[in-house]
Each structure stands twice: as structure tokens, then as C-alpha cells.
Chain A
Amino acid sequence: MATVAERAGPASADVKPARPRRSLRQRLGGVAWGTVAWFAAIIFFFPVFWMVLTSFKPESAAYTNPPKFVFNPTLDEYHQVFSAGMGPFLVNSAIATVVSVLLVLALATPAAYALSMRPIERWRDALFFFISTKMLPVVAAIVPIYLAVRDIGMLDSIPTLIVLYTAMNLPIAVWMMRSFFLEVPSEILEAARIDGATLRRELIEVVLPTVAPGLAATALICAIFSWNEFFFALNLTSIRAATMPVFLVGFVTSEGLYWAKLAAAATLASVPVLIAGWIAQRQLVRGLSMGAIK
């Protein structure tokens, strides 16, 4: 007669948990979507990949038909880019970006707090006014801006760029920060008040740490916009305050494009933003998805 143990079946340690079976259609669907995702990723990434690859090519191999994937890599183009005096342009970009981002955060945070936590009666109108400033194409405003900057003697100066980049990014920052502030549960603020926090302590101790990922996301996006800004920099600067995008366009000459040097300069110009994004990526993902998940 079988024992109870035998009737009970094999010991639990030998039994693997059953995996849910997927139908053939589901598996094929997964493969198809995966292929589409890889394809899309490759298409989006390919220009960046090609830029970096080209930066290590000698100039003669940079623009060939058919394009070369196999070549003798060289750092000569990077040396030439550094020799072309990239340093001051990099410094100008860094100063304009960092200072404008700090200004944007300093101004947008209290504005967004007011519009979210203690909104005025016509808060929708205020928000619309902010975003409406982005509806005017920059090219339509460049002439009056140029004339105004010239008349106050501020052409070719970094403070001009700082003011313009701040003004350019402020509406986006206010909108973004407002959505992050709206995610802060009101009970936490009430708890802080009952615990004795003043408005200032509430903001510093509770609100800002809670929206820190949002702050990081906003800062990074504003930094990207400022770092890559070309039109104002091209029209309002020349020698002292020119930024990296202006430096890059110097490789587009009447004799043609120096592709390898341009690729090397563009790669170098991308590195600071890439590093910042890499450092802040976790905050960025959290910040950008803060409003999406309840």
C-alpha cells in the first residue's frame, strides 16, 4: 500500500513553480514588438553613433561613398579641435548654462509653488500667459531684441545670454515645476504645519526634498536647451561671448565641411550634457514620471 508520503507526491523542493505558458501568437507578437523597438532605437541612436565614429576618422575618410565603417582610428581631429581654441567657447557655454539654470530654478520654484499650493483666482490665465511667450518664433523677435541689446551696449556679452536663456526657459520650468508640486500630497503639508513648520521650513524641509526629482528633471531640460541654443548666440555674440554651437558652425566654411573635425567638436560639445544626464538619469526618470503614476 502506498504510504501517505508517496501518495502526497514528490517533495516540494523538487517541484519548480510552473511558468505561465504563452501562446505562439503572444510569443510572435513579443518578437515582432521587440524587433520594432530595436529598429526604432537604432534609427534614433544612429546619428549619434555615426557622429562619434566619424570623429575618430581621418578627414579623408570622413565623407566617402560608400561610407566607411572600417578605418584606422585617430585622435588627430580632436587635437585640431582643441588647437582651434575650443576652450573659451566651452567656458562661455558653461557659464551661460549654469547661471541661467540657477536663475530659472530660483524664479520658477516660488512661482510654481504659488500657482499650485496657493493659487490666485485667475491662475489659468497666469499659466497661459507664461506659455504664450513660447508661441512667438524666436526669429520674429530677433530684430527688436538685437536693437535693444545693442542700444544698451550688451552685445557680445554673457550676461545677455544668461538673461535671454532664463527668459526662454522660465515658462517651461514653471509649468513643469507646477505639475511636480501638485503631486505633493496636501496631508504632508498639513502635517508639517501641525508639527510647527513655518512656510519657509515647510518649503525647505518637506516640499523641496519631495519634488527634488522634479527639480533635477527641470534643471536638466533647461540646461539642455541653454547649452544647445544657437540662434541667440549666433546673432548676439561674436568674439568674447560666443558659445559652443557657434564654435561648431565655424567648421562649416566656404571651402566645405570639415566633417571629421565637426564630428569631433560636436562630440566634445555633447559630452557635458551627456555626463549631466547620466548622473541625473535616475532623478530624471522619476521626475518625468512623477505626474503619471498615482
Chain B
Amino acid sequence: MAEVIYSDVSCRYPGSDKLAVDHLNLEVPDGSFMVLVGPSGSGKTTALRLLAGLEELSDGRIELDGRDVSGVESRDRDIAMVFQNYALYPNKTVGENIGFALKMHGVARDEREKRAREVARMLDIEELLDRKPRQLSGGQRQRVAMGRAIVRRPKAFLMDEPLSNLDAKLRVQTRVQIAELQRSLETTTVYVTHDQGEAMTLGDRVAVLKDGTLQQYAPPRDLYDEPVNAFVAGFIGLPQMNLIRLGVENGAVRLGGQTIRLPDRLASAVGERQAREIIVGVRPEHVSIANGSDQREGDGDGIPGEVVLVESLGADSYVHATIEGSETSFVARTEGYDARKPGTNIRLRIDPERIYAFDAETEERLGAKPAHERPAPEQPATAAS
């Protein structure tokens, strides 16, 4: 168990002008689960490989359990890694794969086999110990890769998109197992994924990266509710937040011919910047469809739009609609099965208190609420209520 600290870490690949990781500062508390998330090319895998010692630092320092490991070989860092393609040794059995690290560290054969068997039992792969990797399914290989990491009892687990090669159902199941395993082992874990859903469900804290730069490092709930910029706001959340550039005048914006007054704190933040244009963001669950929406323009209130697609997912539906007078499309969440057809005229209502505003140039969030003013997380209903 160990704390991981990235101090002003940078990495530039030979022959490249761009930094793959740009002055990264992160602290992963001992025993916690930290997720590095971002789109392709964001530097998340590079950051993980720097911790593993598989890439060279151009600048900065990495500490593991209080020790500077910046120039230390991978084999001497006491870490274990699960690779995206599992990287199992093809000529060795499952038992030999799991026990390989112990063999490299001089553990006696009997002890190796005993520990490999224990780990295999924990992962429910004990009957596979004599098989070779090519005889295993994807899910089984993934568990062997996990077993190889667990058996070593390292200071930190590093996982590089270990679920990306699994089918959707298996991914969800295995995600739960990984979370449970990490909680029981209490080993510091650094996990890389491009899937923001995985990041939100697994991480105690999530670091969002873009172009090698850290955008925000916070618990999942804070990333969702209090994104620091438009990139984080758009990246976190599925479907992504509706983001649209709008002109602002006198504390209000116009969309589809309708005036939307910004809440006071947003209006004053916009006013302070003297901004003429902002990026307005609102999550699909805060966009509703007005009743009687088949009425023609001018009837009822709300932003006029036309349905282009309805995604019915069972418990919820997501209605994609283009806003009248623009090419922008908005997504609204509705409950249950939504029977609207493409081409239907609707009117969208936005909860103004749920609007986010971002600077049109820097994309920084405007008018964020101070911590004490943020709404408390909803508590589950009790039997008495």
C-alpha cells in the first residue's frame, strides 16, 4: 500500500514537438482507486507508463510510497500492471503465468504454487491452472492477468484499459469484480480508461486529461456536478451535456427565438467578464419537453425544435431535436418509452437554475457555486418516508 505522487511530470517522445504529458501534478492517497480518463491522445496511458517505468520522464518526479522512483527500473518499483491485451506469456500455463513474478523474485516453487492457487481460487479460475492462454476466453485471460498482478502483493496496481477487449456485459460484471477486489485488498490503484462511465463508477477520484494536460482531478460526483471547463462538462456524463455558443445580453441568452434569463450568479459572472458570447451547457436530464408540444410555433412556451432521433433505452428515452433557426441539436431525457417520431415538432424547456456557463474563449466555467452552496447529494428514500 502506498501513496503515488506525480510532481510536475512531463514527457516528450523522441522526435516530437508536443509534450505527451504536460506538467502533471497528482496525488493518489494510499489505498485509493484513481482513474485517469480522457480521449485518445490525452496522455493518460503515457502517465501510467511513466509510473510503471516503461517511459522516460522528460521533467519532474514520481514518488511511490515516499520514494523517488523517477530513475528506477520497472522491475525494482514493486508495482504490478494489467495490460490492455493482458500480455500473458503464451508458452506458460495459467499457474506459471500467475507465479512468474514470484519466480523472478526467488520464491520457492512450493510457495509459488500455493500462492498461485490461492489467487486462482479468489478469481474463480482454479480449474484453469494447467491451461495455456490460447485455450482461454477473453474474460478468463483478463482474470489471469489480474491474478498475476494480485499474487505479488505490490505497492500499487496499474491497469491500462483492462476491460476494453471484453463484450459489454462482461465489462460491467468485471468492473464490479475489480472494484470489490480493490476494496478488499486496499491496494493503491491507478486505472486508465477512455470510458467515462467506467471512470465514474470505479474511481474514488478521477483525473480528466486532454492533450497531456490535467483538466480536473476530483471525485466523480464533483466532476459531474461542478466541471471546471466545457471539456470536462462535455466529456463526463452520458449522453454528453448539451453545449451551445450563444450571444449574451443583459444577463440573458436567446435560443430558438426564446429568451432564457441566466441565474443571478451566472449573470454577474458574465457581466464581470463583459462577455458578449458564452458557451451554455445543460444536461439532458434538465431539459424537458413541454406538454401539448404538437402545437404550432407561438403556442405555449419553450424552445421550438424538431425531433431527429429518439433513443429508447427502456427506463429512459433520449430525444434528439434540432433547435428552430439553428443547426444545433439538443438532447432531452424523458422517462419510459417515448413514442415520438422524427419530424415531430416539440417545445423544449430548460431549467435555468441548472444551466452552466463557460467562457467562449477559454472555456472556463463561469459563476461556479461555492462549496457550501452546492446542493447536497440526494439521500435514498427510507422506509419511514
A190 touches B87 (CB 8 A): yes
Contacts of B77 in A (CB 8 A): 194
Instruction: Choose among B54, B75, B152 the residue that contacts A197 (Cβ–Cβ < 8 A).
Output: B75
The dominant DSSP class at the A interface is: helix
B104 touches A209 (CB 8 A): no
Asked if B318 CB lies within 8 Å of chain A CBs, one says no
A197 to chain B, nearest CB (A): 5
Asked if A206 CB lies within 8 Å of chain B CBs, one says yes
Contacts of B85 in A (CB 8 A): 185, 187
Q: How far is the CA of A8 from the CA of B316 in the complex (A)?
A: 37
One digit per residue, 1 when the CB lies within 8 angstroms of any chain B CB and 0 when it does not, for chain A 199-213 equals 001000110011010
A209 touches B91 (CB 8 A): yes
B91 touches A190 (CB 8 A): no
A188 touches B104 (CB 8 A): no
A210 touches B90 (CB 8 A): yes
A195 touches B104 (CB 8 A): yes
Q: How far is the CA of A187 from the CA of B84 in the complex (A)?
A: 9
B81 touches A191 (CB 8 A): yes
B87 touches A191 (CB 8 A): yes
Asked if B224 CB lies within 8 Å of chain A CBs, one says no
Which residues in window 34-84 of B have CB below 8 A to A?
52-54, 73-75, 77, 79-81, 83-84
Instruction: Choose among A185, A190, A197, A212 the residue that contacts B104 (Cβ–Cβ < 8 A).
Output: A197
Contacts of B148 in A (CB 8 A): 191, 195
Size bracket of the B interface: 20 to 34
One digit per residue, 1 when the CB lies within 8 angstroms of any chain A CB and 0 when it does not, for chain B 103-121 equals 0110000000000000000
Asked if A193 CB lies within 8 Å of chain B CBs, one says yes
A198 touches B75 (CB 8 A): yes
B220 to chain A, nearest CB (A): 28
**A187 and B83 contact, Cβ closer than 8 Å, known pairs A197-B75, A198-B75:** yes
Asked if B33 CB lies within 8 Å of chain A CBs, one says no
B74 touches A190 (CB 8 A): yes
Contacts of A10 in B (CB 8 A): none
A185 touches B73 (CB 8 A): no
**A194 and B80 contact, Cβ closer than 8 Å, known pairs A185-B85, A187-B85, A201-B104:** yes
Q: How far is the CA of A99 from the CA of B81 in the complex (A)?
A: 42
The residue in A195, A196, A205, A212 that gathers the most chain B C-beta atoms within 10 A of its C-beta is A195
B85 to chain A, nearest CB (A): 6
Q: How far is the CA of A18 from the CA of B52 in the complex (A)?
A: 54
Q: Which residue of A lies closest to B75 (CB)?
A: A196
Contacts of A210 in B (CB 8 A): 89-91
A31 to chain B, nearest CB (A): 36
Which residues of A are interface residues toward B (Cβ below 8 A)?
Answer: 185, 187-188, 190-198, 201, 205-206, 209-210, 212
A-B pairs with lowest CB-CB distance, top 5: A196-B104, A195-B101, A187-B87, A209-B91, A191-B87
